[in-house]
Structure 1
Amino acid sequence: MATCFQQQPSNVEDDSVILFSTSSSPEGSTSLSSSFYHSPLSTDNSKTSHKLTVRNLSYTIHLKRSIPDTFFHLGQMPKPVEILKSVSFVARSSEILAIVGPSGTGKSSLLRIISGRVNDKDFDPCSISINDHRMTSPVQLRKICGFVAQEDNLLPLLTVRETLMFSAKFRLKEMTSKEKEERVESLMQELGLSHVADSFVGDQENRGISGGERKRVSIGVDMIHDPPILLLDEPTSGLDSTSALQVIELLASMAKAKRRTVLLSIHQPSYRILRYISNFLVLSHGSVVHNGSLGLLEETIQKLGFQIPTQLNALEFAMEIMPALEASSFKFSVAEDGDSYSYPVWSDEECIRIQQHNDDKQMGNFWFSSLLEIMFLCSRFWKIIYRTKQLFLARTMQAVVGGFGLASVYVKVRKDEEGVAERLGLFAFSLSFLLSSTVEALPIYLQERRVLMKEASRGAYKISSYMIANTIVFMPFLFAVAILFAGPVYWIVGLNPSISAFTFFTFVVWLIILMASSLVLFLSAVSPDFISGNSLICTVLGAFFLFSGYFIPKDNIPKYWLFMYYVSLYRYPLDTLLTNEYWSVRGECFSWHPPDYSHCLLTGNDVLESRGLDKDTRWMNVGIMFGFFLFYRVLCWIILARKASRTTI
């Protein structure tokens, strides 16, 4: 993308050299103290300036009709909604441009379009240019612009340093470990976060840093690769006046020191914040009603015959007289300093050549890059699991208490007809317990999903790398859970006294938990929240249990429901556990005919045949269970990849 920019004629250093250069002197650090108000900021003149030009940008959404609306309004299509109407402006380096307007006026939509977070079909390739080079696709803008969403989508159980360090590992793969550490330390100093570097980020449930500090961490995550253009959606939302001022002060400092172009949306800036903002773009109903400095806005208000009250600033008063501003607004031109709208654009041949070059480079580094991503994600997963005490302890205690509790009910089950029924009940209940024991991971998956969507949409790593790392980390953890459950149950109950049978029993318990974790991971990908996700899991598991063959024999299941028997997660492990218990004792008698007990009424083979198990299908069932484990993870990967490609966060 470097070819998009017009380099200055002077001897400019390569970006890779400039990008992470830091001053070792105390004056090089950015302070959030009051000295910022009085001391001039040093500007890095070696960095290339970037001018963002938006010309006649319009955005319309086509609403999808709901089922009730379709029924009551046959033949009527919902009217398209115009979000933005011919928006034009210019944003330059070393300045902050604030997008202001009432709620629902298109501020967030404008920032998402400029940051490339819009579908290709909704993107106008003629409306946005950087340094007079037209941006022809959202992908180009995603690579150039850093975007900080309104919500702080961060992992609460990572420290500030770890959060920024993982971001550096994902997005600065070409740098050495030492260079990444130096970049993180420099960025924390620049953001004023050095004093909380080892504090947890936190959230509503886990105590951590303050709201203003968390917002600065969010800014740091999207600034780790030093984007020339930084876009922020409501960066002061939810902050107190002091924290909001510190955030804007920080952005102004960074814009001047690094010649960065900063655009942000803001609802109602306080008087102290206004002094740091160079220009304002005031929107109303998707149209521009003011584009310029605060002084120009004051002149416009006075020309309309209004007097600004002493207790209000010009921007606050403009919100009250918005209809008058709309009526008097004119079409703004962005042609300044001799600029024209005839922007150069890449030829088709050049686009193809650049794309092929990038593809060749990416293919050469694909496997190595994927391996690094998996390693970094594994490291992060381990930290989160270890620090998520409620999950770690809950799963461990659930296995131990569940195993000993269940074993205490079925102590030394006898080898008679009643014992056969008890063993079948034990296996069925164990299945139900194990498959439902993974539901507590749902809120953690849902919390991680927003972070995953943000990071994957920014190209930090691939969804496939995330799925592989998740599998690698959780498999040994769930194996330990399987051992803690299987040990007491197997030997206290008195199941088949064979080491090989016990080993296979533990292996099957592990596969059951793996299947359940994959199912929960898949359902967390399709569920919007915890309540609906929990309801969906309970419904699916209930249906699987009903058609497992335990309650209703296969021959009695209606034909239109027979498919549920074959896709049930309960059926295959239940048959496998029964086969493991009775296959080696098929000739052993469990019930004799009284009074002389000379005739056997029930053998191990009879128990197996009652379930239709006339062959040893243990390893075939193991393959099917492993297939379910992979199948739900592949489905989850497809859904998450599709969502990441459409995300706007």
Structure 2
Amino acid sequence: MDPPPPPTYTLTATSISYSKSPSPFLFKPCSSSPPTTILSNVSLSAHPSQILAIVGPSGAGKSTLLDILSARTSPSSGSLLLNSLPIIPSSFRKLSAYVPQHDACLPLLTVAETFAFSAALLNPHSPSAVVSDLLRDLFLSHLSHVRLAHGLSGGERRRVSIGLSLLHDPAVLLLDEPTSGLDSASALSVMQTLRSAFAFFVLVIWTIILMANSFVLFLSSVAPNYIAGTSLLTLLLAGFFLFSGYFISSDRLPKFWAFMHFLSMYKYALDALLINEYSCLATTCLIWYDEGSKTCMINGGDFLEKRGLDEGQRWRNVYVMIGFFVVYRILCLMVLIRRVSRSKK
């Protein structure tokens, strides 16, 4: 008789909010500061055989949400359900696994020794085949005798960390930025490993930092090597900032360099930030002539006018920034296609 299939779980979060009160420095302040809201009304459902990605910029609260979903932190409000029942933290931690952002392994052990040591701690009577099967599933068999401190790439070390969390066969797997610090090839390898080996029975909650730097990608594809690419990147980014109008005023630029002012990516980003900041202060006085005077020297509207900006330009600047991203992505793709066609000849 075939053994029964392992149970599956659906994790549901409803209206999760989390606020944190500021910690006093040495002395308690006279007036209590309002708590900082980190998460507000977050709802999600994670189903079996599904990879759920939580995407957002740095500081958006992804790791905090992951701590709440792993029952390590209690939310300020909202509910967590496992198969429509309230989560019991102690029970949930037994059937789930959490892979932190930074790898924590013993560097002097080999890959096989690391798995065997952890397996013995979890179950002293565990068969040795468990380690062999895990090495095979993670495509690490050829590295079983390599020490963690030497000879492993970032993606391979990441797969070791994931393997340590899979030793007790978790039903729910939560990973905090599993591709952080990895190049595109290593990140793709980690993702393919998860999908091919474990996604059919493990629920993966994946947090990713959203960073769109199309210019760097384009320059990386053009540069002949790492050193040349780094030098070009530093030089060109410095030039973009120099001609943005915030280091040297645009009306003081030489005429033969005026075109660089409109090609600077920094110009449109900084202009959009200034318009967003000062458009709401158009009638608010920023500088008075003297203390106690009722005569305003400059308000938010005057500041924008001196910069040659108005509220109507805000979205235009945003569209130009998006255009830069699209153009550099297309240029990067064209360069890569050209290189591939040359390599086939």
Give the TM-score taking structure 1 as reference length. Answer: 0.32
Partner AA of 1:190 in structure 2: D
Q: Deviations over 1:593-634 (max 9, x none)?
A: xxxxxxxxxxxxxxxxxxxxxxxxxxxxxxxxxxxxxxxxxx
Of residues 118, 124, 133, the one that matches 1:186 is: 133
Partner AA of 1:135 in structure 2: I
Of residues 97, 104, 128, the one that matches 2:59 is: 104
Distance 2:178 2:2 in 1: 32
Q: Is the 8 A contact 1:53 1:130 kept in 2?
A: yes
1:330-479 alignment runs, 5 A limit: none
Of residues 13, 20, 27, the one that matches 1:54 is: 13
Distance 1:65 1:144 in 2: 37
Of residues 172, 195, 200, the one that matches 2:142 is: 195
Question: In the alignment, does 2:13 pair up with 1:13?
Answer: no
Q: Deviations over 1:219-274 (max 9, x none)?
A: 001111110110000100111110001111111123443x211101011389xxxx
Distance 1:163 1:155 in 2: 7
Distance verdict in 2 for CA 1:82–1:124, change over 3 Å: closer
1:156-305 alignment runs, 5 A limit: 156-173=107-124, 176-177=125-126, 179=127, 181-202=128-149, 207-257=150-200, 259-268=201-210
Report how far residue 172 of structure 1 moved: 2.6
Report how far residue 150 of structure 1 moved: 0.4
Give the TM-score taking structure 2 as reference length. Answer: 0.59
Distance verdict in 2 for CA 1:253–1:234, change over 3 Å: same
Report how far residue 160 of structure 1 moved: 0.5
Q: Which residue of structure 1 lines up, in the alignment, with residue 84 of structure 2?
A: 132
Distance 1:166 1:125 in 2: 40
Partner AA of 1:94 in structure 2: S
Aligned residue for 1:127, secondary structure, equals: strand
Q: Is the 8 A contact 1:63 1:80 kept in 2?
A: yes
Aligned residue for 1:165, secondary structure, equals: helix
Aligned residue for 2:175, secondary structure, equals: strand
1:563-582 alignment runs, 5 A limit: none
Aligned-residue identity in percent: 40
Of residues 20, 29, 38, the one that matches 1:83 is: 38
What stretches of structure 2 of length at least 5 have no aligned partner? 213-318, 330-345
Distance verdict in 2 for CA 1:124–1:229, change over 3 Å: farther
Report how far residue 184 of structure 1 moved: 1.0
Distance 1:48 1:233 in 2: 24
Q: Which has the higher contact order (CA 8 A, sep 6+)?
A: 2
Q: Is the 8 A contact 1:54 1:128 kept in 2?
A: yes
Aligned residue for 1:103, secondary structure, equals: coil
Distance 1:200 1:125 in 2: 45
- The structure carrying a bigger strand percent of its residues is 2
Q: Is the 8 A contact 2:16 2:75 kept in 1?
A: no
Partner AA of 2:3 in structure 1: E
Partner AA of 1:252 in structure 2: R
Report how far residue 123 of structure 1 moved: 4.5
Q: Deviations over 1:66-116 (max 9, x none)?
A: 02xx37xx4112321111111101111111100000111110011111112
Partner AA of 2:209 in structure 1: H
- The structure carrying a bigger helix percent of its residues is 1
Distance 2:52 2:10 in 1: 12
What stretches of structure 1 of length at least 5 have no aligned partner? 1-10, 15-45, 271-304, 317-649
Distance 2:23 2:147 in 1: 42
Distance 1:147 1:214 in 2: 16
Distance verdict in 2 for CA 1:153–1:256, change over 3 Å: closer
Give the number of aligned pairs: 222
